[in-house]
Amino acid sequence: MQPKLGLIQLYDGDELVLVDPLAITDWLPLKNLLVNADVTKVMHACMEDLDAFQTIGIDSIMPLIDTQMAALLLGQGSSVGFAALVEQVTGTKLDKGESRTNWLARPLRDAQLSYAANDVLYLLPVYQQLQQQLTAEQHQLLQQEAEQLQLRRSMQWPDQLRFIDIKNSWQLPPRALAVLQQLVVWRLDYARSKDLALGLVFKDAQLFDIARKAPASFAALQAIPGLPERELKRHGQVVLRLVEQALESDPAAWPQPAYHREQFAGYREVTAQIRERVQQAASQHQLPAELLATKRQQTEYLNWCWRVSDAERQELPVPELLRGWRKPLLQPLLPWPEHLNNS
């Protein structure tokens, strides 16, 4: 689902403004502000905001500090919500009564505007108090992490390999993976065309079950437990065609559960090894393990090493654990497959 800007809140310590993005066509003044190297920008849990700004042509916001990341770095908990952080840092309890507002609706009520204003009004003092606790090295790391977050959006894996993200897909044989690959690409295309969340088409687990069963008829498709009747009526025939196309394709081109299997200890074993090495690096460098390497980043590393062919890997971005500030901390410790020594 494509993010949309409904309201922009700005506060510099003196003036607080609420900007209506639905009434603006010239974004150059805001863009100039957000890339001004002399102005530090502060957000909380910024990923969705960055995605939304990208829809209006603002691809870079620098320098940037995420207060959620700062709180994690200071040992105040992972994924802490903004209201909780405000109360934790300033003692102020924010009213969350308007948190489910549709910010694209117009007009917005006074209570909604007040809620939005408080969001940014308290962001600055939260940042200022966190900043006092951060060392210069930690502050620099947070800026580098913001750079990596924005780099991530331009370094996505191609749709043809997104089936690897489906949980437990490594358990499927090549025949089923070929089906899953077709289903995942179709779901992505359909969801984009309708501006829908992927789960509103079919959930990951449902695509997994379809690929595993490879139904040859509508009756067989209906017999798979948990598939919503409404989506079967809407997409059933398309799904059956995709299954048929995948099974009729050249078996030599089917994806593999893992490549270089003669060197592969096993998915669970390598996953555990990566996790242990991350914990080791986090302890050595006194960093929260959740900041150093999320579960998603660890899985990306494993997939890049083992679950794509050598030819495919050449076209993929280097995994996040081997980029930016993480690389010198993790590369000496992470398991490195023998087949990559000659690549």
Task: Let me know: does 120 contact 9? Beta carbons within 8 Å.
Answer: yes
Q: Is the pLDDT of residue 1 over 80?
A: no
Task: Let me know: does 316 contact 155? Beta carbons within 8 Å.
Answer: no
CATH T-level assignment (fold) for domain 261-340 = DNA polymerase; domain 1 (1.10.150)
pTM above 0.85, yes or no: yes
Find the mean pLDDT for residues 277-287: 98
pLDDT value at position 343?
61
d(CA 261, CA 256): 10
- One DSSP character per residue, 279-302 reads HHHHHHHT--HHHH--HHHHHHHH
* 261-340 shares the fold of 159-253: yes
pLDDT value at position 110?
97
Residue 9's beta-bridge partner residues?
Answer: 18
Contacts 24+ apart (CB under 8 A), 128-135: 129/89, 129/90, 130/67, 130/70, 130/71, 130/74, 130/89, 131/65, 131/70, 133/74, 134/70, 134/73, 134/74
- For residue range 99-136, list pLDDT tens digits in order: 899 999 999 999 999 999 999 999 999 999 999 999 99
- Under CATH, which architecture does the 159-253 domain have? Orthogonal Bundle (1.10)
Residue 110 sits at φ, ψ, to 5 deg, of -55, -40
d(CA 56, CA 53): 6
DSSP conformation class of 214: -
Question: Residue 64: which H helix or E strand, with range?
Answer: strand 64-66
| Residue 303: burial class (beta carbons within 10 Å; 0-12, 13-18, 19+) | buried
Task: Let me know: does 39 contact 50? Beta carbons within 8 Å.
Answer: no
- For residue range 26-38, list pLDDT tens digits in order: 999 999 999 999 9
Residues 6+ apart with CB under 8 A from 128: none
> Per-domain residue ranges for the chain?
8-152, 159-253, 261-340
Comparing 298 with 338, which gets the higher pLDDT?
298
Q: Whose CA is closest to 222, among 241, 235, 204, 236?
A: 236
| Superfamily the domain 8-152 falls into | Ribonuclease H-like superfamily/Ribonuclease H (3.30.420.10)
Angle, CA 77 vertex, CA 72 and CA 78 arms, to 5°: 70
Q: Is the pLDDT of residue 260 over 80?
A: yes
- What percentage of the chain has pLDDT greater than the value 70? 99
- For residue range 21-72, list pLDDT tens digits in order: 999 999 999 999 999 999 999 999 999 999 999 989 999 899 999 999 999 9
pLDDT value at position 261?
85
pLDDT value at position 264?
86
* Per-residue confidence band for 153, with pLDDT thresholds at 50, 70 and 90: confident
Angle, CA 10 vertex, CA 7 and CA 15 arms, to 5°: 130
